[in-house]
Amino acid sequence: MFTSSIRDGNSMIRRRQLFQAAAGLGLSSIGVAAPTQPLRKIVLGQSAAFSGPASALGEQFRIGAQLVFDRTNARGGINGRPIELLSLDDGYEPDRCAENTKKLIDSGAFALFGYVGTPTGLAALPLATAAKVPWIAPFTGAEALRSPFNRYAFHVRASYFDETAEIVKHLTFAGINRIAVMYQNDSYGKAGLEGVIRALKPLGLAPASLGTVERNTVEVDAAVKSILAGKPDAIVQISAYRSCAAFIRAARKAGFHGNLYNVSFVGTQALAKELGTDARGVVVSQVMPYPFAPLSPLAQEYLGAGEALGDKFAPNYSSIEGYAAAKTLVEGLRRGGANTSPENLIAGLESLHDFNLGGFVVDFGPQKHAGSSYVDLVILTSDGRVRR
């Protein structure tokens, strides 16, 4: 009886080993139907402005990213797993962003993607780091989110230091040295101000005058007064599109006829729309290739993908940034291998050395998570167009 039990037990073990081996080869190879279970989605969490004065940034970034995710899912997803972008509105307010981030992490978000803004990013990144959740492609160029190095944070766009350095170089090359700064009175505005100061210092220069505006407001009268008192020849603006538009109108009404510059976070098309005919001559630095014509392979692909949306699609810099960011993330997932995990995503992204998306290069490494320093300058016209 004891011997029989051993024999029966060995038989069960052999059957289990045979079943496991067959499962590794594919159950159909021995004529057993494989169980059909839906593969889990790769859920990406996003907290961004979808309401309020910065809402166009979150909306357009998401539209561009979704073009990539929809195409990826139509082709089978990542290792058979579809990508889902779960977006929550924070209204460009840090407290709401922190609350959203906790919800996304607690709900099991695979990674956090496409956050919009510096103050919101500063609220979110510590939470992502503590939870060991990758935080990818924030729509901000603030140095405080890049330094010190954080292995969970990956930046696809150039920094505000890169943008302001290019603006100062452009102005001073033309002999314009009296440069004022209008900045949002928070971590975003101060990051841009620091960039201008850093770029001016080696030239023996400093801002001619300063003025501030509070986040999510258009109260610019005090800023106009304090800045114009310094008699600048150019003004660099570090704020969101509605406050920048309000400042431009007020400054021109007060008699300012000099140059007006903005960094990319302003939202180029949103600013042009807000200004109308007053947009003429306003310069904006850009961290993505020109999106309005197929002048680069990336833009050509982006415009082609947008055709699926029909009249709902309007090319702009914010959505092509979402498109480039999503392409980068998808490539990182693919390179992470068959075992899709946050740690493998980090390894996959770090393998993107000089990765060319089509005229726009992302360069990551194990100790390098700032992927680009690309900066271009464009000028707005009175009919809402963007010229290079």
Environment class of residue 22 by beta-carbon count within 10 Å: exposed (0-12), middle (13-18) or buried (19+)? middle
Residue type, 388: R
User: Phi-psi bin for 22: left (phi > 0), alpha (psi -120 to 50), beta?
Assistant: alpha
Tell which of 242, 257, 286 closes a domain: 286
Asked if pLDDT for residue 25 goes beyond 50, the answer is: no
Contacts of 121 (CB under 8 A, 6+ apart): 97, 115, 138, 140, 142, 145
In tens, the pLDDT along 273-320 reads 999 999 999 999 999 999 999 999 999 999 999 999 999 899 999 999
Backbone angles phi, psi at 97, to 5 degrees: -65, -45
Structure tokens at 302: 């982006």
Q: How far is CA 226 from the centre of its chain?
A: 33
The reply to whether 381 falls in a domain is no
Task: State whether 180 and 149 are in the same domain.
Answer: no
Phi, then psi, of 329 in degrees rounded to 5: -65, -45
What b/e sequence results for 215-240 when a residue is b if at least 16 CB atoms lie within 10 Å of its CB, and e otherwise? Answer: bbebebeebbeebbeeebbbbbbbbb
DSSP classification of residue 33: P
Intra-chain end-to-end CA distance of the chain, in Å: 89
d(CA 285, CA 167): 7
The verdict on 26 and 66 lying in the same domain is no
Q: Is the pLDDT of residue 17 over 70?
A: no
174 and 317 co-located in one domain: no
d(CA 372, CA 361): 7
Same domain? For 166 and 255 the reply is yes
Report whether pLDDT(18) > 80: no
The residue range of the domain holding 220 is: 160-286
Q: How many domains does the chain have?
A: 3
Quick one: which of 271, 221, 275, 274 has its CA closest to 251?
Answer: 221
Instruction: Report how far apart, in Å, the C-alpha atoms of 147 and of each of 92, 113, 243, 349 are.
Output: 22, 19, 28, 18
Taking residues 41-45, what's their average pLDDT? 97
pLDDT tens per residue across span 219-267:
999 999 999 999 999 999 999 999 999 999 999 999 999 999 999 999 9
Bond into 38 cis (ω within 30): no
Cα–Cα dist 160/363, whole Å: 18
Give 384's pLDDT tier (boundaries 50, 70, 90): confident
N residues, the chain: 388
The Cα 230–Cα 223 span in angstroms is 11
Residue 19 has pLDDT above 70, yes or no: no
Predicted model pTM: 0.88
Q: What is the pLDDT of residues 109-140, one digit of tens each?
A: 999 999 999 999 999 999 999 999 999 999 99
Do residues 282 and 179 both lie within one domain?
yes
Contact 156, 362 (CB under 8 A): yes
pLDDT at position 38 is 52
Q: How confident is the model at residue 16 (pLDDT cuts 50, 70, 90)?
A: very low
Residues 130 and 72 in one domain: yes
Confidence of residue 23 (pLDDT cuts 50, 70, 90): very low
In a domain, 379, yes or no: no
Quote the CA–CA distance of 154 and 305 in Å, as a whole number: 25
Residues 152 and 166 in one domain: no
Whether residue 78 lies inside any domain: the answer is yes
Instruction: Write out pLDDT tens, residues 161-198.
Output: 999 999 999 999 999 999 999 999 999 999 999 999 99
Q: What is the pLDDT of residue 9?
A: 41
In a domain, 349, yes or no: yes
Same structural domain, 300 and 349: yes
Burial of 24 (0-12, 13-18, 19+ CB in 10 A): exposed
Of 286, 303, 318, which residue is a domain's last?
A: 286
Q: What is the mean pLDDT of the chain?
A: 91
Residue 383 lies in a domain: no
Q: Are residues 330 and 214 in the same domain?
A: no
Determine, yes or no, domain membership for 254: yes
- Report pLDDT digits (tens) over 316-370: 999 999 999 999 999 999 999 988 999 999 999 999 999 999 999 999 999 999 9
Identify whether residues 110 and 12 lie together within a single domain.
no
pLDDT in tens, 144-153: 999 999 999 9
Q: How confident is the model at residue 39 (pLDDT cuts 50, 70, 90)?
A: low
Residue 319 located in a structural domain: yes
Q: Are 226 and 263 part of one and the same domain?
A: yes
Who contacts 341 (Cβ-Cβ below 8 Å, separation ≥6)?
none
Q: What tokens were used for 271?
A: 């600013």
Per the CB < 8 A criterion, the answer to whether 178 and 208 are in contact is: yes
Whether 377 is in a domain gets the answer no
Residue 8 has pLDDT above 70, yes or no: no
In this structure, the answer to whether residues 280 and 303 fall within a common structural domain is no
CATH of the domain at 256: 3.40.50.2300
Burial (CB count <10 Å: 0-12, 13-18, 19+), residue 104: buried
DSSP 309: G
Place of tokens 């599109």: 241
Q: What is the dihedral of CA 302, 271, 268, 215, to 10 degrees?
A: -110
pLDDT the model gives residue 150: 98
